[in-house]
Amino acid sequence: MSLEVPYIPSLDSTATGKAIRSVFSMIEAHAIASLNWKEYYYVPKVSFKIAYTDESILLYYEVFEKHIRAAYLHNNEPVYRDSCVEFFISFDGSNYYNFEFNCIGTMLSAYGSQIMEKRQLASQDRIGSIYRDTNIHATPNGVQWDLVANIPFSVFKEDSINSLKARECLANFYKCGDDLPIPHFLSWAPIDHPKPNFHLPAFFGKLHFTS
């Protein structure tokens, strides 16, 4: 799996909800629909968009699902148990950053290898530098919600990222909800593993940041 990440020169790391959503209205959406574990059969309708600026990575997720849950209100709590979307990115093919957001924008983030005991949680200051905004609406068949995020390059301090122009890296995008009435675990790039596990950089897809 691979995709081209468009460059948005008109925005920067200070851009917020309205401006980000306006730009994303013109950018291609990609489905998060890989059903990797058949026993978790539920597939909500989920898509993401990604772009980048001179200072940050921009994300947009749109979700339609039967139920939502937002039990976790404090950053670095286990938001993957709620209605959750996630973005994992690696610049060296081994260590990676995970960004996990529930439907009200509470966030969990860490850095390191796939050995969970060695991963380091992001500081509250680092998480606080990441802009998030969500909208939630009831629909006849469930709930629609979306999330935008603006992740400044300063968050990637272990890799000293100053620019992503013409760069290639590895990433995956996910939708989960461990404690929802119908648990589910979906990915953008497929995962070949016997049980649900998103922390497998061997199955990340490729991102090509346009110049």
Predicted confidence band of residue 86 (pLDDT cuts 50, 70, 90): very high
CATH of 2-209, one of 3.40.50.620, 2.60.40.1190, 3.30.160.40, 2.30.33.40: 2.60.40.1190
Q: Give the H/E segment covering residue 23.
A: helix 17-24
d(CA 200, CA 41): 21
pTM, two decimals, is 0.97
Judge contact between 63 and 46, C-beta under 8 A.
yes
Domain boundaries, the chain: 2-209
DSSP letter for each residue of 53-105: -SSEEEEEEEEEES-------STTS-GGGSSEEEEEEESSSSSEEEEEEETT-
pLDDT tens for 89-127 read 999 999 999 999 999 999 999 999 999 999 999 999 999
pLDDT tens for 41-56 read 999 999 999 999 999 9
Quote the pLDDT of residue 147. 99
